[in-house]
Structure 1
Amino acid sequence: MCSTQNDPDKTLSSLVSHNEKEMDLSRVNIHQTTSFDPSSNQQQSQNFYSDKNNIQAFGSQTVRIPSQQQQHYLTNNSQSSNVFFSPYQRLTPSNRFFNDYRHHSWNNSNNFNSMRKPRHSFENWLTTDEWDYDNDYGQRVRFETQLPKRKWTQVQLEQKFSHRNHFTFKLISFNVLSQDLLEANGYLYADCISEYLDWNYRKHVIIKQIVDHHADIVCLQEAQEDHYEKYFRVKLKEHGYESLFIKRSGGKPDGCALFYKTDRLQLIDHKLVPFHCPTIELLDRDNVGLVALFRPKTSRSSSDDAFCVASTHLLFSPKRGDIKLAQLQYFLAEIDRISIKDDNINVEPTYYPIILCGDFNCQPYSPLYQFLLDGYIQYNQYKRSEISGQILSNCYSLNLPSNELLPSYYVRSDCRFPTKTKTIDIIEQKTTNIVLDDENQDEIIEKKDCIQFSEYLDANNVDNPSAVLIHNKKFHSVYEHFNRSNIPEVTAHINHESHNMDFIFYTTGSSGQKTAAISTNEQQKTTINDRLYLLGRYNLYYQNQLRNVHLPNWQFGSDHFLLLAKFALKLQHV
């Protein structure tokens, strides 16, 4: 190792760590060989880089230290920091160095897709504005935007909801990106720094994102089973959470997890919901969901103060909107069963308030999205690729069928299960065409428990000739999806592309869904207690802010952004 020549070099060398694994997550370091060209004078730049006294070696890194007169371009948060900050992070238009700095003759690039590939096997990374250039040594230096801190948007004044009459709580929905899926689809993350793709780095960033918000409920998608058991479950238990988990079927490594604060919430009921059913064509995929019913742990709450939380991760395939719609139809039926409060056939059914969240793999205002908000869809007027809105047009895509999506003896077209009738009762009454003997009866009942459908059979249900689905929940979205300039919000940023596919929905009051072309028996009114209020949401980034951002990175541990909302639940007996 070379010895330092002067005090300024010692000062700067103290800022570079040979152990990047212990870096402060609130800052970013410089990787591999770092060369800095703060001067517009070419001769000065050459002298600077050729000065052997300005070279320090630390382990496998070589850091070129600027001369004393150039050090004002380098800034850091504290002398004890082991990282560099780029100059632009501290420079503003009012700064006397700003104009000199931004007019350097570097190859500016605002289009990230046009960036050149590195001419060597190593890259340098700084966190600053939107520039890309090749330095004197042929090294490609990429400048990646540091995103500003997200802020809260207050929807309603919290003072209106006194703590005596309302229970306030926060909910997170977060696709944390399964490590196995990341590695299996590495081409999507080719432009990310490999260090930030490592699970041993990502897990600390993800858990910090979660615990910093002190949410009462945390819904995770793509939670890998071994990471759930060995990390998420252990770490979040230290913060007072208990959890539920369902793994995807078919040997898939990940699933959905739900964590809740035990000192704030009591779990009343829950259902783990696999969507796979080998006997039904549109339910042949391995996606899952889970539904839970909670009650606040307060002295003023009663059994009437329950609310339902459901989380899912629907199929990704943009071309198979028919499968997504069928999965949602079945999931809504499971939500209906858990959230129903009073199902007397002589009166309108009443429901507890519902929060539905997750990765829906659809775009805002797509037919699938509108079905949740409107409670109605006539699906045979769409092609399969049009349902989720991920593909604008596909002339080769097939139309959805004109008959029922799912067999009506499993799930009705109003997204409710048929009248409960035990399978064994149906067998004994011989009301179906199923013929069983003693040898295969146990097998059928075992299969019933596995696929979780056959408990609900109704031989009197008929096909749905109008190709219409309805549901009796009135959902609203927590997020608005666009700003006033019509720039879309982003919930996922993958391989240079921004998407809005993660949502939090909540019910407000009674549903007024359309009922045209629906049989009289299916025109059901419903009452959802209007007791759930949205107080605020954690702002998302907009598409124009993510031009030079790659996820995961040092700042964010997943390729999805965390969604967070605050609600108030009005207590019944106060």
Structure 2
Amino acid sequence: MDSLKAATGCKVWFYEEVFSVILTVDFTSSCILTLQRHWETCSTDLQPPGGSAGFDFSVMSYNILSQELLRDNGFLYGHCEPGVLRWDFRLHNLLQEIQQHDADVVCLQEVQEDHYQNQIRPALQARGYHCEYKKRTGRKPDGCAVTFKTSRLSLLSSNPVEFLRPGDALLDRDNVGLVLLLRPNDSVSQSDPSSFLCVANTHLLYNPRRGDIKLAQLAILLAEIDRLSRLPDGSTNPVVLCGDFNAAPWSPLYSFLTSGCLEYGGLQIGKVSGQDNSPRGQRLLSFPIWSPSLGINHQCQYENQPAAEAPPTIPTAVEGRISNLTGEDLSTPPDRMRMEHTLKLQSSYRHHLLPDGRPEISTCHSHTALTVDYILYSHDSTPPSLPGGRGLQLLGRLSLVGQSELEEVNGLPNQHHSSDHLPLLARFRFRC
């Protein structure tokens, strides 16, 4: 504590709060400045369209940096004062940030299980949130959480998604997702049993060189979202997909999410996420990327399964298919080396700053500064003046910053920002 006090010139004291005893810092003008973020309006239609109902709600997505992962990867945080890396200090900042933004739905990644059970969930419940959590499989310490204000939304179902498939050499990692169906607590939605929101949260594999695994994990998540959001008549309810996708905005993986199609013939595995700039030769994605035994087709939908029927929790163990291109692969028609989805997703962020076009940054530590976090949503292509359509309209977002702004505050984490990621925040209108 003395080293922190000496380094910052700030007064330090302890105080009691419901979740724990927290170390907090009173920052003076000599301390590192906070990042300047502002609200960006994305629509001039600030009132519900005439003759139709609208439910406005906000969503936060935030990788809060698991304390165990911070300790295991300490080399990434050598630029930080030791005091700002303490969990008691970080916890207070993180909860204060969540409270400040006051989002209706909060999707968190890298939520350490013991911290969730003992501190984070009780603190959020005290503020009116219902909390759902899915821990990563195996011995991993953290997982994903989705929380929402019970005053604004009601839970219809909570659906954990495990990407691990025992016996499959491709799907052998412990990443997970969580998909919730939520009903707005407004009179229109309550009177229409088919009106709900599908909110999904995930943290895909980090490894920059394993784009094949990332795409297979994503296919599983998208198949589950498609099943849960689809109505008996074939239409779908709105989807909000949040998470740390470990993929850059210029990557093929991101393009697949936002365009609905990826032609992957000749694509190197290490180029899928846009994280690996290594020029050396790499294996190409093979056809098919995942085993047919997974029961998911190239459109990222469950095969031969009615929308109302749940998929098996643990599919039959299968052998993954990861290899260099073989003679069989070379003879595969190019038009078959394609994966698709029908969710019509787009990003709530531009991924570049105005007016100079610099890249927006969502994560920064001593080894990287780029965007890997997204709030994606199924947009409403129907004009507000016309009836029909159940997509979402983006009303606004909390601005991100560039690399130079992060350098001015000594990167992440720092005294004011207690994760190596920045929270994303967007506001939507759901036309019921």
Instruction: Name which of 82, 85, 99 aligns with 2:29.
Output: 85
Q: C-alpha separation between the residues in 2 aligned to 1:212 and 1:20?
A: 21
8 A Cα contact 1:270 1:338, kept in partner: no
Q: C-alpha separation between the residues in 1 aligned to 2:107 and 2:428?
A: 15
Shift, 1:250, TM fit: 1.2
Q: 1:150 to 1:321 in 2, by over 3 A?
A: same
8 A Cα contact 1:152 1:537, kept in partner: yes
Q: 1:21 to 1:453 in 2, by over 3 A?
A: farther
The match for 1:545 is 405
Long gaps (5+) in structure 2: 1-7, 16-21, 318-328, 383-387
- Taking structure 2 as the reference length, the TM-score comes to 0.84
The match for 1:310 is 200
Q: C-alpha separation between the residues in 2 aligned to 1:363 and 1:404?
A: 21
Instruction: Name which of 153, 162, 167 aligns with 1:274.
Output: 162
The match for 2:423 is 562
Q: 1:383 to 1:414 in 2, by over 3 A?
A: same
8 A Cα contact 1:478 1:565, kept in partner: yes
The match for 1:335 is 225
Bigger shift: 371-380 or 217-226?
A: 371-380
Matches within 5 A, 1:12-161: 19-21=12-14, 27-28=26-27, 84-86=28-30, 126-127=31-32, 146-161=33-48
Q: 1:187 to 1:404 in 2, by over 3 A?
A: closer
8 A Cα contact 2:12 2:25, kept in partner: no
Matches within 5 A, 1:393-408: 393-407=278-292
| Residues 1:356 and 2:226 aligned together | no
- How large is the RMSD of aligned CA atoms in angstroms? 2.5
Q: 1:204 to 1:350 in 2, by over 3 A?
A: same
Q: C-alpha separation between the residues in 2 aligned to 1:149 and 1:544?
A: 12
CA shift digits 1:170-190 (9 cap, x unpaired): 000000000000001111111
The match for 1:77 is none
8 A Cα contact 1:532 1:570, kept in partner: yes
Shift, 1:547, TM fit: 1.9
| Residues 1:165 and 2:53 aligned together | yes
The structure with more radius of gyration: 1
8 A Cα contact 1:283 1:326, kept in partner: yes
Matches within 5 A, 1:124-523: 126-127=31-32, 146-161=33-48, 165-301=53-189, 302-342=192-232, 349-407=234-292, 409-420=294-305, 451-452=314-315, 466-483=336-353, 484-495=355-366, 497-509=368-380
8 A Cα contact 2:260 2:344, kept in partner: yes
8 A Cα contact 2:294 2:315, kept in partner: no
Q: C-alpha separation between the residues in 2 aligned to 1:568 and 1:152?
A: 16
Amino acid corresponding to residue 540 of structure 1 in structure 2: L
Q: 1:21 to 1:476 in 2, by over 3 A?
A: same
Q: 1:17 to 1:217 in 2, by over 3 A?
A: closer
Shift, 1:217, TM fit: 0.5
The DSSP-based 3-state class of the residue aligned with 1:333 is helix
Instruction: Name which of 381, 392, 398 aligns with 1:532.
Output: 392
CA shift digits 1:206-247 (9 cap, x unpaired): 001101111111000000000110111100001111111110
Q: 1:507 to 1:158 in 2, by over 3 A?
A: same
Q: C-alpha separation between the residues in 2 aligned to 1:305 and 1:489?
A: 34
CA shift digits 1:505-530 (9 cap, x unpaired): 1112479xxxxxxxxxxxxxxxx934
CA shift digits 1:313-370 (9 cap, x unpaired): 0000000011101110111001011111125xxxxx2100111110000000210000
Q: C-alpha separation between the residues in 1 aligned to 2:296 and 2:9?
A: 61
The DSSP-based 3-state class of the residue aligned with 2:139 is coil
Q: 1:216 to 1:320 in 2, by over 3 A?
A: same
Q: C-alpha separation between the residues in 2 aligned to 1:453 and 1:231?
A: 37
8 A Cα contact 1:473 1:510, kept in partner: no
% of aligned pairs identical?
Answer: 39
Amino acid corresponding to residue 239 of structure 2 in structure 1: I
Q: C-alpha separation between the residues in 2 aligned to 1:207 and 1:540?
A: 20
Q: C-alpha separation between the residues in 2 aligned to 1:306 and 1:243?
A: 18
The DSSP-based 3-state class of the residue aligned with 1:377 is strand
Q: 1:148 to 1:254 in 2, by over 3 A?
A: closer
Q: C-alpha separation between the residues in 2 aligned to 1:324 and 1:405?
A: 11
Higher relative contact order (CA 8 A, sep 6+): 2
Amino acid corresponding to residue 37 of structure 2 in structure 1: R
The match for 1:89 is none
8 A Cα contact 1:316 1:361, kept in partner: yes
Q: C-alpha separation between the residues in 1 aligned to 2:303 and 2:10?
A: 64
- Taking structure 1 as the reference length, the TM-score comes to 0.64
The DSSP-based 3-state class of the residue aligned with 1:567 is strand
Shift, 1:546, TM fit: 1.5
Q: 1:408 to 1:379 in 2, by over 3 A?
A: farther
Amino acid corresponding to residue 391 of structure 2 in structure 1: R
Amino acid corresponding to residue 316 of structure 1 in structure 2: Y
